Amino acid sequence: MTGRVILVGAGPGDPGLLTRRAAEALAQADVVLHDQLIPAEALDLVRAGAEVVDVGKRGGGEQVPQDETNALLVRHAREGKVVVRLKGGDPFVFGRGGEEALLCAEHGIAFEVVPGITAGVAAPAYAGSPVTHRGLAGAVAFVTGFSAESDVDMDALAAFPGTLVFYMGVRTLPQISERLIAGGRNPDEPAAVVERGTLPDQRTIVGTLAQIATRAADAEVRAPSITIVGPVAALHAKLGGPLAGRTIAVTRAREQASGLAARLQALGARVVLAPAIRTEQVDADLPDLGGFDLLCLTSPTGVARLFDLVRDARDLAGPRIAAIGPGTAAALRAGGIDPDIVPARSNAEGLVEALAGVAVRRVLIARAEEGRAVLPDALRERGADVEVLALYRTIAEPLSDGDRTAALEADLLVFASSSAVRAFHAAAGTLGGSSIASIGPATSATIRELGGEVLIEASEHTPDGLIGAILQASA
């Protein structure tokens, strides 16, 4: 048995930026030694039974000394294991990956390197700042912020004909800008600090080289952050996305929030998650569907639960199937079912309308426990025999103080359901004087009932419709 070490870059934080090769290495690993700054989702790719060690921080909070990490690498590899050394960004860019590769070489241990997407390229990119740009920057230098307090020739850096990208420079930002200006760099040159780049709550602070340290301090910027100095930093204004500079709080359940959050982030918004609800399975038995001529699904969560309960796909062959919302329809199609009816308006009223000319005798509505009475009432009124099957319920969850404050201070508070409004109101105690975006009239009514004011209401009652309405309102 010969062990080996794979030095793997996990990218800057967005799990979508993990490479395929990184995923393969994680699936093979017997042992994973990882740093603090890695996407949490990366560890989901580790096979069950593998040993996972956080060498970023110990219980007490202090860093595990490099010697100890080295000893672990060598010991596990010698025991014949596949050891993945997982690091944020790229292992060879300020990651001490080179030292660990040398250690392997010295001990005759086989090793491989899986490059990762480095924060110094990815964080500026997500902020709308290409690190090189024809006519603006013909070169880029990656620098550690420690250079401002070491013997690095800051005058030479000041004279560098291109973009300067500083890692680990939050604390030393005042010295960096001061010494660059002293070295002859133009104080009016654009600069930007990108905090938590590629993560949903990425934030960008811009200013001139002379202003940037004060602005970052005023905004209480924290690590991890990348500082960019150069004309490309000003492209943030044009390429940072239509929602750049805006903080948007998403109140959906965590398991439902990621799509909406990712799309808002891709448009440049800083997204804070304030999930005051979560979904919980309800024990349910699926009745024999043979007796029904219509099955209504109202959410992707409901579809997922339905598929859990169906043991034989042929059980679904009898009734016609209606889906409220394109997300629900897409979830059905992903499971091999093409819904017969998808109303143009994505709410219960829309489905009632779409069913106007359809004869139904016996209907099963499979959905959340707390769903509204609109659909069953309307169908009963038409003489149908309606059964409602609760597949899940949404339950209120307390908000942490941090999440509550961040949500109430956001530029926009987004609600995609009445249950989210009620839960958020219960957890936060108020809807505040916040600007609020709502997915549709039913959600808006709940917002108003609880004392909130609706600034934006989507005319298409889907996450995409909500995003469209937000974009329109901020154009």
Interface ranges with ligand SAH (CB under 6 A): 12-13, 37, 87-90, 93-95, 118-119, 123, 167-168, 194, 196-199, 223-226
CB 210, min distance to ligand SAH, A:
21
Shortest Cβ distance from residue 196 to ligand SAH (Å)?
5
Residue (165 or 408) nearer to ligand SAH, CB: 165
Q: Least Å distance between CB 215 and ligand SAH?
A: 17
| Residue placing its CB nearer to ligand SAH in the complex, 115 or 325 | 115
State the nearest-atom distance from the C-beta of 119 to ligand SAH, in Å: 3
Q: What is the DSSP string of 53-90?
A: EE-S--TTSPPPPHHHHHHHHHHHHHTT-EEEEEESB-
User: Among all residues, whose Cβ is closest to ligand SAH?
Assistant: 89
Residue (13 or 190) nearer to ligand SAH, CB: 13
Q: How far is CA 350 from CA 180, 356, 389, in A?
A: 61, 10, 20
Query: Residue 92 Cβ, how far from ligand SAH at the closest point, in Å?
Result: 8
Question: 278: how many CB neighbours lie within 10 A of its CB?
Answer: 16
* Known active-site residue 57: yes
**At residue 429, what is the residue type?**
G
Q: Which of 168, 315, 411, 464 is catalytic?
A: 168
Tell me how far, at minimum, the Cβ of 423 lies from ligand SAH, in Å.
Answer: 30
Q: What is the largest CA-CA distance in the chain?
A: 84
Nearer Cβ to ligand SAH (37/239): 37
Strand order in the sheet with 31-34: 51-54, 31-34, 82-87, 4-9, 110-114
Q: Is 35 a catalytic residue?
A: yes
CA distances (Å), origin 435, targets 248, 394, 396, 408, 457 = 10, 24, 22, 9, 11
Kindly name the residue from 14, 30, 35, 403 that is annotated as catalytic.
35
Name residue 392's beta-bridge partners: 281, 368
Identity of the residue numbered 182: A
Catalytic residue among 14, 44, 54, 57: 57
Nearer to ligand SAH, 77 or 93 (CB): 93
Neighbour order of strands in the sheet with 294-297: 277-281, 385-396, 362-368, 294-297, 320-323
- For the record, the structure tokens of 263 come out as 């799309």
Q: Between 110 and 223, name the residue whose CB sits nearer to ligand SAH.
A: 223
Distances (CA, A) of 284 to 277, 303, 306, 368, 370: 21, 13, 10, 11, 15
In the numeric block, which tokens belong to residue 272?
Answer: 């804070």
Catalytic site residues?
35, 57, 168
